[in-house]
Structure 1
Amino acid sequence: MRRRLLMLMVFGMFILSVLLVGCGKSSDEGTGKNQASEKVKLTFMAVGGSNQQAYTNLMESVAEQFNNDNAYHAEIEMEWYENQQYKTKLATLMTQNSVPDIFFTMEAGFMKDYVESGKVFSLSEAFAYDSEWFERFNDGIFKATTFDDKIYAMPMGQEIVITYYNKKIFADNNLAVPKTWDAFMGNIKTLKEKGIIPISMATQDAWVSGNLMLELSGGIGGVELFDAIVDGTTTWDDERYVESGKAFQEMVNAGAFPEGFLGLSYDEGRTLFTTEKAAMYAMGTWETKAIIGAMGSDENVGVFLQPPKKQEYADTHVGTLAKLYAISERCEHKEAALAFLKMLSDPDVQEKYVVDCGGIASTKVTIDENKLDKVTQQVRQLQQEVKNPLIAIDRQFGANIGGEFNNISVYIASGADPKEQFTALQKYAEQETKQ
């Protein structure tokens, strides 16, 4: 009992030094000794692609504020990478045990191996000590970043996959926002007949196809199918996954996507929509500000949730955590790193994340709707309709099985037999689990 009490007292002193940021300055600071010494460097690495300028601007601003005023004489040095480039670099650094102090990650299976290999610092003790910090967050937000009852990463927000649409193109062609699969396919047919690209789709990055396949599976098998594949009570060759592949091919055969979509880059996919060559764009809510910026305003941009094949699954869609950050176990200045993470959850930063970046907050911060563009307002409403979010497969199952799911989604989109592809995925998954 005495040993446990002593440990708690020692840890309490450590966490207190972590979290009481800016409560006072030492006499050394007053005499300028600390200012003259070299600052502590904290390395930070994250995804910040061409479509996320508003977000990287926000983060650079928060880092500058932190660098100018923190109790640890610490300075954040930020590095940004495109999505796929980042995943490759992070995996390499993990292997080399050279992970940055603070790094972007994804939930569930993506980070599981990193956690189990001891590369990630647990946030649970800090949250337990500072209950005010923990209670800022939406209920259940840490479920997918918790392993063995410990929390290992903190999200700034949440994201859902939606369909952006051009209001003017819809109005000019007497199209309504579809509520059913048949209406959705009817809109595709009408647009194709008018010589308009129905949906911008660029699958050079395989995860784009993977997300659509997952979205389709949610509309066919609901969250029950997702839960079953996660807990192992079904297999990848489940007929509901095969049906999802057939639905994907139904869209392809109807001419839903641009010619050569299998080879189009991510940016080219967005550009087809923002230059009004495509009527719709199926993508995550992280694209909102990039789309509005490219189109000059929010006037002609609307959003909706893709209708399911089976109407009873209208509340099931792809949804993930956003801007998820973890601290490396090898970080030598964890107090400073924790202070920076806490800063990202501050109400003013969370408000800017929603207002300036079009994000969905991870905390219970109150947002003045009058500050939001029309698209972000609609996104926030749609997010309330998603009762059963599906974590992207390459996040849930990690790079190997998840990556192969994305690959077979591309193969199916190109015409491969769905049954054969999902059977092959099942065999691949069985081999992976044996290793």
Structure 2
Amino acid sequence: MMKFIYTMLLLLMCSFVMAQIKPDYIYNPSIKTPKLFPLNNQLGLPIIQLNSSDQLELHFDDLGNYPKNYFYTFQLCNADWSEAQWSPFDYIRGFQQSRISQYRISSIAQVQYVHYQVNLPERSCVPTRSGNYILKVFQDADTSKLLFTKRFYVVDNKVGIAAQMQQPFNASQHRTHQKIQLSVNTSTLQAIQPQQIQTTILQNGRWDNASQKLVPSFIRGNILEYNAEQDCLFPAGKEYRWIDLRSLRFESDRIERISRTHIPVTVYAKTDAIRTGVRYLWYRDLNGFFDISTTESINPWWQSDYAEVEFTLATENRQPLKQPVYLMGELTGNQLSDSSLMEFDERKMVYYKRLTLKQGFYSYQYVVKDGNNQHPVATYDFTEGNYWETENNYTILVYYRPFGGRHDELVGLRQISSIQPNLRL
């Protein structure tokens, strides 16, 4: 009996660990450049309307010279990305797993890889409920051989959302932060309580600094007003830095030199400097996203090459900072992890980070990790500086759980820019 109980507890623990899937995470180091975005829009968040013809493009590369059997499935999640209490049969119409059959072996490129792509959702595998989803890609129809995960959103717009960017009234944050004033009209939802609504705001699609579990400041009938002084508040940062890798023969303005003694070639970016004391300058950026493209071939997805790109950051006094420094952007998954942590070179007295990147145009920033390990916070205070004029994109997500509901439905989504005119209900 004791042996049986021990076995059951072990199985439960294993199933619990397997359920804790990390979103936007690469589990296999041979997988490069996973990208999920709306059809023909690499700079957009992966959002589709429920029961619509909207589609997403999935692209990724597997370093090697022969194709493998790769499959994908969806996992429905709650607002906090915990797994929803539904069976996949309840939120997927069709097959629970689908094989990725479209692939091309790289051509022209010196680095060999197999490029895979698929348009989602396919007719044989369609999400049927609104909410947060995790796309899971794995090998040989075995979910334990997980390759990577990507977030995407299925929205069923039932509420009205009005939002605008304002300067905070607090004098200490007036010139450095951006505040989102928000109103949600819930008249189409039946007899709700404010506790049934969860509102989340993302800055440039990032979840590391998302404003979550917001509490309405005022309730006027069916209108929920979010206008507390410390709610919906974000450090503004500065416009993102960039590096142009669309050509590996022409050294663009942000490239110091290219070493071609090995394959892949090594690209040394020009050393970046701390920008906290530099005046704000507006220019069009990609807000942390990257665009796979090339000036030297026809199709960038399977004719682009890979390069080892080394980023360096010089501090003002040529001494390491007190907190860890991270390279932030879609190129590192917007995560404070080992994949984005920079090291300090004692000989050159600079921070450096080397990444394997595909040809394209990349935007990025440097951040410092603040807070404890359970709740780390990325701050620009010591690397970039904060100026309220900075152009940022904000995504407002409104979730609703009806009485007796088993997951958080995504019933409203709106995207705004901090430089757009004010938007009201």
- With CA pairs under 8 Å and 6+ residues apart, which has the higher RCO, 1 or 2? 1
Q: What range is the shorter-chain TM-score in?
A: under 0.3
Q: Which has the higher helix share?
A: 1
- TM-score computed with the length of structure 1 as normaliser: 0.26
